[in-house]
Amino acid sequence: MNIGIVGLGLIGGSFAQAATRAGHCVSVWNRTRATSERAVADGAAAAVLEEDMTSTAGSPDLYLISLPPDAVVPWIDAHQSAFKPGAVVVDATGVKGAICAALRKYAYGATPWTFVGGHPMAGKEVAGYANATPDLFSDASMILTPYPSCGRGPLDMLEAFFKELGFGRVVFTTPEHHDEMIALTSQLAHVVSSAYIQDPLAKDHAGFSAGSFYDMTRVARLNPDIWTNLFLANKEALSSVLGGLVERLAAFKEALDTQDAPRLRDLLEKGRMVIESMPPTYKSIARRAST
């Protein structure tokens, strides 16, 4: 299958490498053409994708749009007339509600190509093409948020394709449910990590820190421009879960300030019971992340 990768950061570069390894013919587009040419020289891609969506490798059957959230809709708007009939276009940004709402104009038979919202649940603390790897998606989840008008054909194709790239599962959901879940499982974790590492004592952690400190601070090493964009695009859902966390933290602080040992123990026990009730899949991911 001919694959077009748009945007060659960590995710796009890893998509290109994984798709090429899986035997697909990959063409790449990047705002900086030199990065596209580097991907071809590295063997991650077969050709550079031109502005008219043509390449020496042929027109893509599937586009993976790996651009910052605020760039996805303008890029698709600018190039939508160049997508060939039957093509499938999938974005890879961490917020789905705003993007899927803006691109709904291309759904329900309005175009001869199909758009499906997507979000690979994979990443690193570092960004950029230089850090891309074909193994980035190993056992990860690929989330897809198709419009109700999308037939099974494109979705079956996408499920098979993403599993070829190493994804362990493909999850289908709505843009709204995606955003509320990602607010908790990803965005809130980045907020907490960033706030935690800003404590004045953190700079002196050497010799006093171990795995817990690493786990809490790992995702504070982020791109502030990208994550500001993501947070604001999902502000309602993120504010809601952040408010819940603030209330729970206040309960811990009150128990400490009043030396209420039974209350403190109860709060800790509630957390322990929740983590112990998590399914085996979560526990295996947690163990892998800590190694």
3-state SS record for 129-196: HHHCCCCCCCCCEEEEECCCCCCHHHHHHHHHHHHHCCCCEEEECCHHHHHHHHHHHHHHHHHHHHHH
**pLDDT given for residue 291 in this prediction:** 33
- Of the given ranges (52-61, 89-98, 258-267), which has the lowest mean pLDDT? 52-61
Residue type present at position 66: S
Average pLDDT over residues 135-139: 96
The 10s digit of each residue's pLDDT in 246-289 is: 999 999 999 999 999 999 999 999 999 999 998 876 545 544 44
Average pLDDT over residues 156-175: 97
Could you give the domains of the chain? 2-173 (3.40.50.720), 178-289 (1.10.3660.10)
Asked if residue 129 has pLDDT above 70, the reply is yes
Average pLDDT over residues 76-83: 96
- 2-6/88-91 β-pairing: unpaired
Average pLDDT over residues 92-98: 95
Tell which residue, 53, 76, 56, 69, has the closest CA to residue 4. Answer: 53
Q: At what angle do helices 235-257 and 175-182 cross, to 10 degrees?
A: 30
Side-chain-side CA neighbours of 128 within 13 Å: the count stands at 8
Alpha carbon distance 66, 213 (integer Å): 31
Asked if residue 290 has pLDDT above 60, the reply is no
**What single-letter DSSP state applies at residue 88?**
E
| Beta carbons within 8 Å of 155's beta carbon, 6+ residues apart | 116, 144, 146, 172
Token pair belonging to 8: 């060659």
Average pLDDT over residues 122-134: 89
Mean per-residue pLDDT of the chain? 93
Q: What's the Rg (C-alpha) of the chain?
A: 21
**pLDDT given for residue 124 in this prediction:** 82
Tell which residue, 18, 48, 13, has the closest CA to residue 34. Answer: 48
Phi, psi dihedral angles at 62 (to 5 degrees):
-140, 130
89 burial class (0-12, 13-18, 19+ CB within 10 angstroms)?
buried
At which residue do the structure tokens 């700079």 appear? Answer: 203
**pLDDT given for residue 282 in this prediction:** 52
**pLDDT given for residue 87 in this prediction:** 97
Token pair belonging to 164: 């070829």
At which residue do the structure tokens 């992340």 appear? Answer: 289
